[in-house]
Amino acid sequence: MKKLLKLSALLLMTSLMITACGSAPIYNVEKNTIEDPKSSKKVYRAIKEAGQSLGWKIRKTAPGVAQGKLLLRTHIAIIKINYNRLSYSIHYVKSENLKYDDEKKTIHKNYNGWIQNLEKAIEVRL
């Protein structure tokens, strides 16, 4: 009986660790400064080109606001990008099949990598 109890406890701990490793706090980009200010049009172009190079579909939704959508297999991520000639921000909007937890504000760790890659690609173009 003790062996069964120990095995059950070990399995429970292992499954909790595996589940915890798959999620991370959502990574948002907050007002990244554009070192060499450009026109808003050029900033949008850099965002769009950077996104497209990584598989994101980027479209302008309002002046200074763009939406990004990434579809990978059964996973969908939607982001909002606020920008002007001096800075840009990237914020999570919604997702499907990415283990998003609204209460904890966590998501599958791959999402954060996608956002960090997008941020780097934008920086290269600016």
Q: 83 in a domain, yes or no?
A: yes
Are 119 and 90 within 8 A, CB to CB? yes
Q: 96 in a domain, yes or no?
A: yes
> How far, in Å, CA of 107 to CA of 92, rounded?
10
The total number of structural domains that make up the chain = 1
Q: pLDDT truncated to tens, each residue of the chain (126 aa)?
A: 544 444 343 333 444 444 445 899 999 999 999 999 889 999 999 999 999 999 999 999 999 999 999 999 999 999 999 999 999 999 999 999 999 999 999 999 999 999 999 999 999 999
> How far, in Å, CA of 122 to CA of 60, rounded?
16
CATH number for the domain that contains residue 92: 3.30.530.50
Q: List the domain range (segments joined by +) for residue 36.
A: 25-125
